[in-house]
Amino acid sequence: MTQDQILVLAVLGAAMALFVQGRWRHDVVAFGALLAATVLGLVPSNDAFDGFGHPAVFTVAAILVVSRALQVSGTLDGIAARVAALGDRPALQAAALTALATALSAFMNNVGALALVMPIAMATARQSGRPVSLLLMPIAFGACLGGLTTLIGTPPNLILSQYREGLTGEPFGMFAFTPIGLPLALVGLGFLAVCAPRLLPTDRTGSDPSAQVFDVGRYVTELVVVHDAPVIGRTLRELLGADAAELDVLGIVRSEVPVQDSIEDLPLRPGDVLRIRADSEVFTELAHRSGLRIGSHVDRTAGEGESVEAIVPPGSRLEGRTPGSLRLHARFGVHLIAVARQGRPPRERLADVSLRPGDVLLLSGERARIAEVCQTYGTLPLAERSLATTLPRRRGAAAWIFGAAVALTATGLVPVQVAFGLALVALVATHSITIRQLYETVDWSVIVLLAAMIPLGEALQTTGVTDRLAAGIAGWTVGTEPAFAVGLILVATTLLTNVINNAATAVVMAPLAASVAAQLGCGPDAFLMAVAVGASCAFATPIGHQNNVLVMGPGGYRFGDYVRLGVPLTVVVLATALPSLLWIWPPVRA
């Protein structure tokens, strides 16, 4: 290997290791890798930021905005209401919700599809008393499968289409992925309907499923001993009484200093702050009974306004920020009164907790104000979809604009990036989305990731790494049919997409797949389609796809739950995909 080849593999390997470790955000890792490659001379400095102008990057951003406009417009509420009203047959409702997420994700962002269906699933589970863990993971997986069926369903498809255009002069069409994606989605839905109830946990709900049908790891909140509280002078042991078994006391803060000594027999004083972990019903009842105030702010009163649970998705503007820095009450009249996090609870004071994707927030205040907070910061309400409202006259506009963009792309009248660029202009012109919402809706972490990874992918080609790896794969398949090489690409892509972002996987694997095809004397389509399928099979880990992270907390899932359901689903999808690929896109040697 040449020095440049060793260096580019080292940079990419370090980036992948950091992706897997998860300590830094994926966009920071990708941008750092791009800068390192530029400093080392692997990427020309004049070309380092060309990825930001790549058509696929703009198209992903545009589709995120159009998806958001559909989501907040209420256009799809009628469909969702019909699914929710299917009756009390749990198996039918679960299948219908998963199918709805799959169908929606074919034409909108996968996370947006999940955001529409997840609140319906939560409400359905509450009404039926069934664990929501039986619903959320299948819905998340269904959204990933649905994204495979069209050009705009998932970012990897757009990336592969643009890459194919660079190779052959023609991109993949709007429905070029449908012949392979639709059968896989149907097979996956069938598997989830039959096997998910048998493989997913049902014991994460506590003793009373009707009271709490999902386990978010319980909330961390603070209770303040006000100056006239009847519990002043009583010990913590006396205060809790029978509730001691239902909550955990994480500590007491007195005069802004944590109490270090044994706290069970400590007499309570005015101003003491109790950091506790409990279900919302438990700490709310305790606060009312004992005259304590929920939250440490002076203007907080327990039970003020309505309460709504909202989840922090990847890329939210809340990610990495603290409740204290948000000043939600000053800006919106809304209080963040508790945070639930899967696994170990936060150790910091509530105001100082650094929020992460998957955290569930308990917001209190007027419903309209909470809706404004959710839209401003990109959180997903878990209680009801009525938080996202738009004037009725604007509902139809978003649907018509979206349909026109799809039609323009499908007919080939204009490229996909132009069609959805026109859609953005139309959405703003019809007031279906504001300029502020347009910029806030774009998941800039995904955009930076893609823009940074594209030059790195090109560096793999210019340094000759892809040709060298492709020659090795071609050597392994000497004397065999090209189908074996297609299978290797499919499996390798699937393994990679479960540990790094699916878009980054497509960027890395696309040039390798095309180079393998060239080495074998075949056209690139079967190999690129193998990458598309593999990049959508991020089922085996919670870090493989944003949807997996989103449902982890509300569903009470653990890492092993993804393995238990995701690995068999992956095997079924790949076993179906390979013969379908070879039949629809045969890799024939020239």
How confident is the model over 289-310, as a mean pLDDT?
67
Q: Which pLDDT score, from 0 to 100, does residue 560 have?
A: 87
Question: Per-residue pLDDT for 338 more than 70?
Answer: yes
Most confident stretch, 284-288, 376-380, 391-395, 530-534: 530-534
Read off the CATH number of the domain in which 246 is found.
3.30.70.1450
Determine the Cα–Cα distance for residues 147 and 60; give it in Å rounded to an integer.
Answer: 13
Q: Which pLDDT score, from 0 to 100, does residue 389 have?
A: 39
**Residue 303 in domain:** yes
**Residue 464 in domain:** no
Closest CA to 181 of 192, 170, 191, 189: 189
Closest CA to 336 of 164, 221, 474, 501: 221
Q: Which pLDDT score, from 0 to 100, does residue 99 have?
A: 92
Q: Which pLDDT score, from 0 to 100, does residue 299 have?
A: 41
Q: Which pLDDT score, from 0 to 100, does residue 24 have?
A: 81
pLDDT confidence band for 31 (50 / 70 / 90)? very high
Question: Which residue type occupies 462?
Answer: T
Question: Per-residue pLDDT for 552 more than 90?
Answer: no
**Residue 89 in domain:** no
Q: Which pLDDT score, from 0 to 100, does residue 242 have?
A: 67
**Residue 364 in domain:** yes
Question: Per-residue pLDDT for 570 more than 90?
Answer: yes
Determine the Cα–Cα distance for residues 577 and 484; give it in Å rounded to an integer.
Answer: 13
Question: Which residue type occupies 69?
Answer: A
Q: Which pLDDT score, from 0 to 100, does residue 10 have?
A: 92
**Residue 9 in domain:** no
Domain count, the chain: 1
Q: Are strands 335-340 and 219-224 parallel, antiparallel or unpaired?
A: antiparallel
Q: What is the mean pLDDT of the chain?
A: 82
- Angle value at C-alpha 278, between 276 and 280, nearest 5 degrees: 115
Q: How far is CA 477 from CA 2, 57, 365, 375, 516, in A?
A: 25, 34, 63, 52, 10
3-state secondary structure of 191: helix
Pick from 64-78, 143-157, 408-422, 527-541: least confident: 64-78
Pick from 1-5, 30-34, 280-284, 337-341: least confident: 280-284
- Angle value at C-alpha 350, between 345 and 354, nearest 5 degrees: 70
Determine the Cα–Cα distance for residues 17 and 3; give it in Å rounded to an integer.
Answer: 21
**In 305-351, at which residue ranges do the beta strands (DSSP E only) sit?**
306-311, 335-340
Q: Which residue has the tokens 């979206």?
A: 402
Residues 6+ apart with CB under 8 A from 424: 62, 65, 66, 438
**Residue 106 in domain:** no
Residues 6+ apart with CB under 8 A from 87: 93
pLDDT confidence band for 390 (50 / 70 / 90)? very low
Q: Which residue has the higher pLDDT, 84 or 13?
A: 13
Q: What percent of the chain has pLDDT over 90?
A: 23
Q: Answer whether 108's CB lies under 8 Å from 67's CB.
A: yes
Determine the Cα–Cα distance for residues 537 and 560; give it in Å rounded to an integer.
Answer: 17
Q: Which pLDDT score, from 0 to 100, does residue 479 have?
A: 64
Q: How far is CA 399 from CA 73, 175, 234, 266, 386, in A?
A: 9, 19, 60, 61, 18
Element (H, E) at 363: strand 360-365
Determine the Cα–Cα distance for residues 376 and 192; give it in Å rounded to an integer.
Answer: 34
pLDDT in tens, 240-264: 876 677 788 888 888 888 887 778 8
Question: Per-residue pLDDT for 278 more than 70?
Answer: yes
Closest CA to 530 of 516, 545, 548, 544: 516
Question: Per-residue pLDDT for 451 more than 60?
Answer: yes
Q: Which pLDDT score, from 0 to 100, does residue 98 have?
A: 92
Question: Per-residue pLDDT for 201 more than 70?
Answer: yes
pLDDT in tens, 47-85: 899 889 888 888 878 887 887 777 666 666 666 666 666
pLDDT confidence band for 87 (50 / 70 / 90)? low
**Residue 254 in domain:** yes
Q: Which residue has the higher pLDDT, 203 or 266?
A: 266
Question: Per-residue pLDDT for 385 more than 60?
Answer: no
Q: Which pLDDT score, from 0 to 100, does residue 567 have?
A: 95
Characterise 277 by phi-psi region: left (phi > 0), alpha (psi -120 to 50), beta (else): beta
Question: Per-residue pLDDT for 473 more than 80?
Answer: no
How confident is the model over 530-552, as a mean pLDDT?
86
| Global confidence as pTM | 0.69
Determine the Cα–Cα distance for residues 311 and 571; give it in Å rounded to an integer.
Answer: 31
How confident is the model over 96-117, as a mean pLDDT?
85
Question: Per-residue pLDDT for 474 more than 80?
Answer: no
Q: Which pLDDT score, from 0 to 100, does residue 306 have?
A: 76
**Residue 362 in domain:** yes
Pick from 74-88, 105-119, 357-371: least confident: 74-88
Q: Which pLDDT score, from 0 to 100, does residue 337 have?
A: 87
- Domain assignment of residue 370, given as a range: 219-387
Q: Which pLDDT score, from 0 to 100, does residue 301 have?
A: 45
pLDDT in tens, 489-523: 999 999 888 877 788 888 889 989 998 998 888 99
